[in-house]
Structure 1
Amino acid sequence: MLAHERHGAGSPIVLIHGIGHRRQGWDPIVPLLVAEGHEVITVDLPGHGESPAYDAGGKDVKDYLHEVFEELYAHLGIDRPHVVGNSLGGLIALQGAVNGNAGSVTCLSPAGFWKGGRDFLYVRGLFRTMITAAGLLAPVAPLLMRYTVGKALGFSWLVQHPSRIPADHALGDFRNMLKARPAVAQLFKGAYMFEGPLPVPATIAWSEHDKVLLPYQAKVAQQRLPEAFHTVIPGVGHVPMSDDPQLVARVILDSIARAGKGTGAAA
């Protein structure tokens, strides 16, 4: 069973983090969504945070993640929640919609829209480089994460404003990235493109200063998923939740509102 937390009451929103991250990455926006009358469920992916190790048992990534989320939703007693995902979490949200496990999806710089092998090698190489660097910095990480310069060393490739991450969260994220290395390797081996179409209302929101999934991929997503609502989140990096919690929460709430109205695509 995936590790998870439940907050508030109301129509459920499931928040899914990206590769190498953990559920606490959503903490800045959880109270903002709860305040608008939602139950908010944050989840650790397999091999991340407090979830069990990644163990696909021979299944491909797509089928394995579908299985673990179906198990989670059955345990929680929820059906077709609003699903929000960042990076890999966005791809999981999109695939969940195809599988009938989401009432609407909101994707923050989702994976699955690179143009080809060279672009994918860039992303995989970036993670490999930064995780290797994190391993070298691990002995001094508790000290580094107290200071803006240390947070910048660890997270400027992921966020636009590293100083806005609390020191304890920064250290937890740093340690989690190292702990998640086996799962990260397996997820990259099984990476796949998302083609669509989408059977539910969807918002694709790309971070303006994304250094991981470069912003040109927003155009690829718009070409492949013309039925979705496409937008850009200004002033934020690939993992935008700590950069501007109010703005990210508004993107999510607006997406859910559009889904409730049944409105179609827009740019």
Structure 2
Amino acid sequence: MSATVSFSVPSPLGPRTVTLAYARVGSGEPLLLLHGIGHHRQAWDPVVDILAAERDVIAVDLPGFGESPALPDGLAHDLSTMNAALSGLCEALDLDRPHVAGNSLGGLLALELGREKLVRSVTALSPAGFWSPVERRYAFGLLQAMRAAARSMPLPMVERLSRSAAGRTVLTSSIYARPGRRSPEAVVAETLALANAQGFAETLRAGGSVQFSDDVPGLPVTVAWGTRDRILVRRQGIRAKQIIPRARLVRLPGCGHVPMNDDPALVARVVLDGSR
């Protein structure tokens, strides 16, 4: 079930109220799920039921994405603010150092939470921040093109394309290696989520100076990369392993940038193993 929670976050202009939308299901140790830029919490739908058999799963819409409003004036969509917002979410929901799994931007945020020792374990799927300058420019250019395409297409066109596997490939092949597996309804919803994401431009702008360069000692870390990732190429996983030498590096054969859709059973197993 969808819900919202509001809490206070400090800013240079004084405390600001942040509101986040989330869905919660299952039982067991808490597991926080974080999506990528331009997406929404439903990116995790293919694996939620598997995870919920062993975990108390909380899938959240990041600020300015999905059903969560953009951050209020005085708060930037940068890493420190996102850390504060996610820490506030955990406190508001009484989550004591949850496990966390994130994809893309969410993977970077998960690693940041791990670096701050705010979580029990980290599973990062194609996390941002391990790029070279050329790779970052390529990824940002592709993301901006995807956003422009989503905003330019009338809803009837999106709905018509979503009804066929070929049309779903047109709409989502940048993020999925197996776009035909995504349901028409999900493809329409995530295309609209990308088009309407209030936090997209500011979050992407803040990411221009991001480079993850710190180890994450003292807790289990898993970094997993799809072999068919077209946005953040898989050699970035090698860099992640060099920076976080104790991390478990896992390849996801046949998976794209958002692997939860491409191989739900494999991704769920990687997340659960990482949180054990």
Residue 8 of structure 1 corresponds to 26
2:211 paired residue number: 193
Question: C-alpha separation between the residues in 1 aligned to 2:162 and 2:130?
Answer: 32
User: 2:102 touches 2:123 (CA, 8 Å); kept in 1?
Assistant: yes
The Cα shift of 1:60 comes to 6.1
Q: Is the 8 A contact 1:115 1:220 kept in 2?
A: no
Alignment of 1:15-164 (within 5 A): 15-35=33-53, 37-55=54-72, 57-59=74-76, 61-116=78-133, 118-139=134-155, 140-164=157-181
SS at match of 1:242: helix
What is the Cα deviation at residue 58 of structure 1?
A: 4.7
Contact kept in structure 1, 2:114 and 2:121, CA below 8 Å: yes
Aligned length: 254
Q: Aligned AA for 2:114? A: A
Task: Report 1:226-237 matches (<5 A).
Answer: 226-237=245-256
Displacement of 1:101 after TM fit? 1.3
* Between 167-176 and 50-59, the greater mean CA deviation after superposition: 50-59
Tell me by how many angstroms 1:136 deviates: 2.5
The percent of aligned pairs where both chains have the same amino acid is 41
- Contact in 1 for aligned 2:77/2:202 (Cα 8 Å): no
Give yes or no for the alignment of 1:239 onto 2:255.
no
Corresponding residue for 1:256? Answer: 275
Is 2:187 aligned against 1:170? yes
Distance in 1 (CA, whole Å) between partners of 2:48 and 2:73 is: 30
Q: Which residue pairs with 1:207 in the alignment?
A: 226
TM-score normalized with structure 1 length: 0.92
Higher strand content, 1 or 2: 2
Q: Which runs of 5+ in 1 are unaligned?
A: 258-267
8 Å Cα contact 1:111/1:213 also seen in 2: yes
Q: Is the 8 A contact 1:56 1:64 kept in 2?
A: no
Cα distance change on mapping 1:58 and 1:4 into 2, 3 Å: closer
- Deviation per CA, 1:14-71, whole angstroms, max 9, x where unpaired? 1100000000111111110112x21111000111111011346254601110111111
Q: Which runs of 5+ in 2 are unaligned?
A: 1-18
Separation in structure 2 between the aligned mates of residue 58 and residue 39 of structure 1, nearest angstrom: 30
Match of 1:126, SS state, is helix
For residues 220-260 of structure 1, the C-alpha deviation after alignment (integer angstroms, 9 at most, x for no partner) is: 11111112111111111000111111010011111122xxx
Structure-1 residue corresponding to 2:15: none
